[in-house]
C-alpha cells in the first residue's frame, strides 16, 4: 500500500495535479506530459500516469511523433491498454481535424501554400503514400476531396480515369492533385512528374483544369506547378 500511495497523483499538492492545474489556470500552463497524463488518467502499481506519459513522449521522441505510433505500439507501453491507446489516438485525430477546420475557415486558395496548409497536418504523418484530389468550383472554393489511392511506403498507384470520373460526379471545374511522401522529403520522383503531366494533359481534353500537384512532406511541401510540370 505504501507504493500505491506514493505513486498516486492525488497525493501531490493540489497546485501540482494536472486536473486542478488545468481547471485553475487553463491548459496552456500544463506540460505535454501533464496533458497526456490527463488522457491516460490512471497509473499502475509502479508508476503514476504522469510518469507513463513521460515514457510515452520519450518513445515517440517528440509530441508530433505521437501521430506515428500505432494502436499496438501504444499498447506495448506498460500502463497503456486497449482503451487508453484508443483514447490517445482519438484525441490525436481530433487535433488533426481541428487544425484542418481552422485552416478551412481561413481558406483563400491563392497559392500552393494556402492549400498545403489545409492538408499538412492530415497527411504529413501517414506511413504510406495517399493520393488525394481536391475538387473546386468556378471560384476555387472546395467542393470536396477524395483519397483515390493508398500505396506503399514510397509509391501510390492512381488511375487517371478514376480521377476524372470522380471530378465529373462532383461537377468540379478545377482540381488539385495531392499526395504525401512518408519519408518527409517532398522532392518529386520521376514517376510523380510523369503522372502529373499525364493527368494535366487529360484535364485539358476534359475541360477540367488541374491547378497543381502538391507533394506533402514533414512540415514542407513541393508544388509541381511552380516547378513547371503542370
Q: 218: which residues sit within 8 A by CB, 6+ positions away?
A: 124, 184
Question: Nine-digit cell at 158?
Answer: 492512381
* pTM (two decimals): 0.58
Domains of the chain: 2-99 (1.10.150), 108-223 (3.40.140.10)
pLDDT by residue for the chain (230 residues), tens digit each? 334 444 455 655 555 678 788 888 888 888 888 888 888 888 888 888 888 888 898 888 878 888 888 899 999 888 899 999 999 999 988 887 777 666 555 555 778 988 898 899 889 989 899 999 999 988 888 888 899 999 876 767 788 899 999 999 999 999 999 999 999 999 999 999 999 999 999 999 999 999 999 999 999 999 999 999 88
Amino acid at each position: 500500500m505504501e507504493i500505491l500511495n506514493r505513486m498516486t497523483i492525488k497525493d501531490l499538492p493540489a497546485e501540482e495535479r494536472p486536473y486542478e492545474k488545468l481547471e485553475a489556470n487553463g491548459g496552456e500552463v500544463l506540460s505535454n506530459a501533464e496533458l497526456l497524463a490527463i488522457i491516460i488518467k490512471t497509473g499502475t502499481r509502479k508508476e503514476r500516469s504522469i510518469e507513463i506519459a513521460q515514457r510515452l513522449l520519450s518513445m515517440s521522441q517528440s509530441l508530433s511523433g505521437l501521430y506515428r505510433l500505432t494502436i499496438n505500439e501504444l499498447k506495448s507501453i506498460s500502463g497503456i491498454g486497449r482503451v487508453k491507446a484508443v483514447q490517445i489516438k482519438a484525441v490525436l485525430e481530433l487535433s488533426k481535424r481541428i487544425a484542418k477546420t481552422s485552416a478551412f475557415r481561413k481558406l483563400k486558395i491563392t497559392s500552393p501554400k494556402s492549400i498545403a496548409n489545409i492538408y499538412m497536418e492530415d497527411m504529413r504523418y501517414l506511413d504510406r503514400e495517399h493520393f488525394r484530389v481536391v475538387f473546386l468550383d468556378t471560384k476555387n472554393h472546395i467542393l470536396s476531396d477524395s483519397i483515390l489511392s493508398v500505396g506503399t511506403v514510397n509509391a501510390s498507384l492512381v488511375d487517371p480515369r478514376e480521377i476524372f470520373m470522380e471530378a465529373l460526379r462532383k461537377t468540379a471545374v478545377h482540381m488539385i492533385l495531392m499526395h504525401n511522401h512518408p519519408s518527409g522529403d517532398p522532392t518529386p520522383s520521376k514517376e510523380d512528374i510523369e503522372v502529373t503531366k499525364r493527368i494535366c494533359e487529360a484535364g485539358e481534353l476534359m475541360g477540367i483544369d488541374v491547378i497543381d500537384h502538391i507533394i506533402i512532406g514533414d512540415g514542407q511541401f513541393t508544388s509541381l506547378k511552380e516547378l513547371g510540370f503542370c
